Amino acid sequence: MSEEETMHTTTEATTPPAVPRGLAGVVVTDTAIGDVRGREGFYHYRQYDAVELAATRSFEDVWHLMVHGRLPDADERAEFLARTAALRALPEPMRAALPVLARTTAPSGPLAGLRTGLSMFGALAGLRPVYDLDAEDRRADALAACAVVPTLLTALYRLGQGQTPVEPRTDLPYAANYLYMLTGTEPDPRRARAIEQYLIATVDHGFNASTFTGRVIASTGADVVACLTGAIGALSGPLHGGAPSRALDALDAIGTPDRIRPWVRERVIAGERIMGFGHPVYRTQDPRSQLLRTIAEGFGGPLVDFAVQMETEVEEILAELKPGRELHTNVEFYAGVVMELCGLPRSMFTPTFCSARVIGWSANILEQAADSKIIRPAARYAGPTPPQPVPVP
């Protein structure tokens, strides 16, 4: 009996249990990749505090941790950096197709271009279903796919601006190379490190919508790029990955600090969401926001002062109008501030987030691929009672 037939029989024989909307809080699997403790304001990658990793380690160290399960020693670090840097260049057929890809996907934004371009990469590379591969080949495919994401994103952005793509450099680490390909200029170490810390802090964050999407696709045995493109599609939704630029848009709309309270109060009373505030998991301060606020304050300046004042006043208004709820800044609020300070265009805020999150997705895909059980939940039918006569035309 096939798995579909078995599932159908099981569903008929049992009544599906009631679950919260959106599967909120429902445990769907075991994982060794990481977790989010919302009530504590803590999250981790493997056994390490993610914020501590962002403060003390390189992006490549954390990438190695995610896909190999351990932090690298000095020799492993050098080998891993060289291996992943060598994978950054796009295959020639893709380079030739990039101008057309940039034009055709421009109306939908950079993530649409990445989703399409990454699919093209997977086809050109001949990636096979994870179901047919051993663990090492799956890992090799995941590394290759993740390594080209920054190259694709920056090339598509530059072409959209009428500029020539900048070829990746193998002598620069991940974050510095990303900024170099985006701007055409080697970044100063301070900004490169700020972006690196942001990327590390956003590599993974529990079973969010995009991570779960990637794992569902992996459970079918599909190839790595199919899993990643599905996750990118989930991330493109404004309720998931689209808030960093929107948080800054709110600062722009407010204009001056004296307008914060009336602007925010009016929108909260109207039932509107204040972008950059609140999180579905955290019931205390978002540790990622605290890290990024510290990074932003290290730069200083009017934008940072305005953001800090807005954080204080918005939290006071939310506490007054929504008593009993812990609503604080989330990662998107100060992420937008940090990326603005480092010279990233707002249209690239969410794509930059994606360039980090592909690493977490790939780790989840590899973990899911080791389990051959397909993810196939049930739904409770809520339509008209069947069977009813089919109307005569």
**Taking the CA of residue 378 as centre, how many other CA atoms within 13 Å lie in the half-sphere pointing to its CB?**
17
Determine contact, residues 154/166, Cβ cutoff 8 Å: yes
- 332 assigned to active site: yes
* Ramachandran bin of 167, using left for φ above 0, alpha for ψ from -120 to 50, beta for the remaining angles: beta
CA 387 to chain centre: 44
Determine contact, residues 62/146, Cβ cutoff 8 Å: no
**Active-site position among 196, 311, 332, 340:** 332
Determine contact, residues 150/178, Cβ cutoff 8 Å: yes
**Active-site position among 279, 311, 340, 367:** 279
- 315 assigned to active site: no
DSSP state of 41: T
Distances (CA, A) of 145 to 228, 233, 255: 9, 16, 41
DSSP state of 210: H
Distance, CA of 388 to CA of 393 (rounded, Å): 15
Distance, CA of 236 to CA of 229 (rounded, Å): 11
Q: Which two tokens stand for residue 347?
A: 């249209």
Distances (CA, A) of 278 to 289, 318, 326: 11, 10, 8
Determine contact, residues 235/111, Cβ cutoff 8 Å: yes
Determine contact, residues 314/260, Cβ cutoff 8 Å: yes
Q: Helix or strand or coil: residue 215?
A: helix
Determine contact, residues 198/331, Cβ cutoff 8 Å: no
Distance, CA of 245 to CA of 236 (rounded, Å): 13
Catalytic residues: 279, 332
